[in-house]
Structure formats: C-alpha cells, structure tokens
Structure 1
C-alpha cells in the first residue's frame, strides 16, 4: 500500500464495469470497497482479484435509503476513510426490463420506471450525500464520479426509464459539482456507449452483434477497462478542474452537438 493510497467506494462492483473500475484503482495502490447488491460469489471474486491489500466488500440494495447510508458507513469503517466515490450501481437494460410504450402494460410500466429511478438516481444521490458529508466532516478534498450513459443523450426507446434515469444522474452530477467545489470536492460523469461486459456477451455473439459493433466507426464496442481508465482519470487530483464534465466514452458512436 503506498502512502498516497485513497479509500475508494465503487458501487455495483461485482462484475462488468464496476469490477474493472475496482481493479484499476487497486492497481494504483488505492484501497477499495467493493459494493454489490446481489451475487456474493461475484463480489468475492472481484475482491480476490484486486492487487494490494486493505480492500473490503460491502453489500446492500441502494434503492433503500437506510441501506445506502449504511453501505457508506461500512465502507468508511472498513477502509478508514472514503476519498473517492464511483456511482456505478444501476439497473441496466435487459430483455426482461424492456418497456417500449406501445408494448408494455401500465402496471409494468409504472413498476419499471419506479425501480429504475430508485436505483439509478435515488440510490446514487443518497450514497453521494453520505460520502459528501463524510468528506465535509473531515474537511477533506475528494472526488465523485458517476457512471452515466450515452442513452441519456440519444434516447432509449425500448428502455426509456433507463435513459431518463441516466440523464437525471448527469444533471445531478453537474448540480453537485457546483455545490461541492467550494469544499474541494470534484464531481464528474462518464457516459459510456455499448460495453462488452459479461451481461452483453450473448447479444454480441448473436445476430445483433455486428450491428452493435457498426455503431462505432472503430468497428467494435468498448471494454470495461476503457471506461475504468476514464473514471480513474476523473477521480484524480489532476482532473479537479474538469469537475462538472460529462465525458463521452463511446468510440464516436454518438456525437453530441
């Protein structure tokens, strides 16, 4: 462990982008709290794969406000302090959560929208509050990096709740960047495009795979490690002047004006 090691809480770190983010911070000598909602075996696998020492696992459904603050408290206890928060936990689009408005019934529509915002926005907001207050009590600088989505800009017609919740997460980050800057706390967001996580392996191997890869002029999709590299940069002291930014990490598959 190096003398400049920070405490980093990564939510939704049991697989995919979250695991890659946890690994990237650990590789630079930081102590990481690996948060997960479900899937103990995956979270333990992430923990075992982290270089260095001093890492911990914390569990809980962030949609519950009391659980969100408990998770932060456990991360602080386990790491000694939290200096960086990565809001990665989210309900991502799946075939089961598809809710195109012309196809889904009202009861499912309401349920999917409520759950998406409870996790993707409210959970992130509550965890951010707890980490920010922890930093303020310590009079310490810090960083918050939100994992948003390209879908917040281009639209998600088959998963509108996901796109809307990520757009709200982007807006939250910019509001908090202004609010927390006087305290030395930077807040920024990455907006990935399609990423080759374990969850997307079947889709990429199937008939849709080529079409997805053609979305980018590079002819491929992103990797979790590429998103993690952007997160680590935005969480660095050198990136403090980029607070409030939303960094597109989508291989030029969607260009904003």
Structure 2
C-alpha cells in the first residue's frame, strides 16, 4: 500500500500501536467512567458566621429550600422545627423553664439522669448561639427537700460552636466518607455508590466550613451495562490482535561490514 508524504509506514505502525493500547485499556476506561453503574454527585455549600444571622449558609438559599440542616448538633438550624424553636425562644426570653425533675445536689455538676437536652449541643435563635444546660433552682424545693432542676441556655460563641460541631478534614482519620471530604475540598465529587453524608459541616485545610449534600443521581443508559461488558471483553482482544499484527510487520535487518 503506497504511503503519502505524512503517513509513512513507521507513522502508520505507530498509530496502530496507539490504537492497540487504547483497546487494551478499555476495561480500565469502563471502570473509571462508570458507564454501567449509577453515579452519585455531591457538592458543597459554605457555612459562615454572620454578625446578623449567626451560623448560616454563605449566600446559598437553595439548601434552605431543600430543608438541609446546618448541623444536627445545632437546634433550630435549617430546617426550622416549629415546636423546638418555639420552646427554645421561650427559654431565651424567660431565662429558665422548670421541669418535674428534682435533685439533692444544689450545685448539680453532672446529673445521673437524662433530662432530654442532649439531642443537640447548641441552639441558635435570632442569630445568637446558646448552649443548652440545666441548673438546680435553689429557691424551689419539694417536700423531701430536693431542689427542682430548671432548663436554661448559656450564651456561646458562634465561631466556637461551628468549630465544635464540624468534622475536621485535616486529621488523619476523618470521620466522613472520602467522597464527602473530596467534595468539601474540591467543590464537587462523584462516586459509584451512595455515601452517608454527615449532617454537619466539614472543616477543610484553610479553616473554612462546608456542608456537603447530594445534588444528582445519574442512572446508567439503558444499554450502558451491555456496552460496558462488550468493551471490557472485546477491547483487549482487539488490542492483542493489533499487537500481533504489528509484531509480524517488524523487519530486522543487519547493517555491517561484509566478512573477508
């Protein structure tokens, strides 16, 4: 077969070798592109401390519409739990709320019973952050001389609270799936399986905070699994056949001085 000025026999063989390598690598390509599998996409939204709104999303109202919590450890964060927030706002206004629990210890350093304030570690109301706690009311005693336990809120730093409830992605053993950490650091990430998203922000290297959420779930094309199997099976066969063809085109010649 005659060759033109550009496609010389050497260049043609080189091109054929490249094509053969592409076919040999098709199983890797199929695995990397997830052509036959469902793909889950995750993105991030920055969480900041605002002077007016407290801990909030940075100019991204979509998550509020999607009912995505800022953190499950912050009561009254998005979405709003009407009953919970009404109770906490009343607690802020009235300073304390009485319970039906009594204690013999007026100092009450650590009660040996559950009074129901451990569902979350902080509460946010009207842009201010509080830490739920309890106190023995020294002015109220029952007939047995026990002091009534009252619920109360202590003012807390929003910056410290955000850092406290966040997952630190800078540690060696991060308590979050790798795809979630990648999305927090890079902005977006994909996986071939659905990850369990932490219901709290992730803190990355530059001390910024991001709430990761799933944005998409792409099902494979109807014939995607079939194409994936065909490419994985026949790609290497085609590549090997091209390599075999090339091996028979190699000509070895000896150039040297003739003997005496």
TM-score normalized with structure 1 length = 0.22
Greater fraction of residues in helix: 1
Greater fraction of residues in strand: 2
TM-score normalized with structure 2 length = 0.21
Question: Higher relative CO (CA 8 A, sep ≥ 6), structure 1 or 2?
Answer: 2
